[in-house]
Amino acid sequence: MAICLDAFVDRRSAPVAAVTWGWGMRVVSLAGFLFAFWLALSGHYTLLLIAAGAVCAMLCALVGRHMRVADHEGHPIHLWRGTLTYYPWLVWEIAKSAWAVTKVILHPRLPISPTMTVVRAGQRSTAGVATYANSITLTPGTITVGVSGNTLTVHALMREGAIDLEGGGMDSRVTRFEATA
């Protein structure tokens, strides 16, 4: 049985070669993610409970659509390709930073050099800037303490972390991730 999803694709604002995800596909995708999350947490797999979970997931996705939170920022399914490379890279950066902070903390002289720095975000959207700020905060030893437009104020536990941020490596990775849309 083939299912035609053509009605769920929004072709009005997209060029002929590039069709965007319409609201219907976004609702179906969100319902699928919610249902999978429900299944993972439930642990009960009777037919009645699975059917109730599917109905609840679809209703929650439709309510999210009605409240306008299931949009391109609330459920960014258009970024799925970028997550395949960005998330593993971010996990690796978190691990490297955690190891560096652990070595500093366990050192008998505690050689920290707290530093405040300001970095510019090269992202085009507010979601991109938020992703950059959150990525900085997720890496141990650095925390974004302020955001004003595309300017981020960052506290680093060690000067090397601030220098690394000022080098722009993380900024360029987040910009590439944002560009996969």
What are the boundaries of each domain within the chain?
Answer: 6-66, 78-179
Inter-residue contact 157 to 112 (CB < 8 Å): yes
Other CB atoms within 10 Å distance of the CB of residue 29 = 17
Q: Which amino acid is at 18?
A: A
The phi and psi torsions of 9 (rounded to 5 degrees) equal: -100, 130
Integer Cα distance of 157 and 86 in angstroms: 24
Other CB atoms within 10 Å distance of the CB of residue 45 = 9
> pLDDT by residue for the chain (181 residues), tens digit each?
334 344 434 444 433 333 355 778 888 999 999 999 999 999 889 999 999 999 999 999 999 988 988 887 777 777 788 889 999 999 999 999 999 999 999 999 999 999 999 999 999 888 899 999 999 999 999 999 999 999 999 999 999 999 999 999 999 999 999 887 6
The DSSP element (H or E) to which 145 belongs, if any, is strand 142-148
Integer Cα distance of 28 and 101 in angstroms: 42
Total-model pTM:
0.72
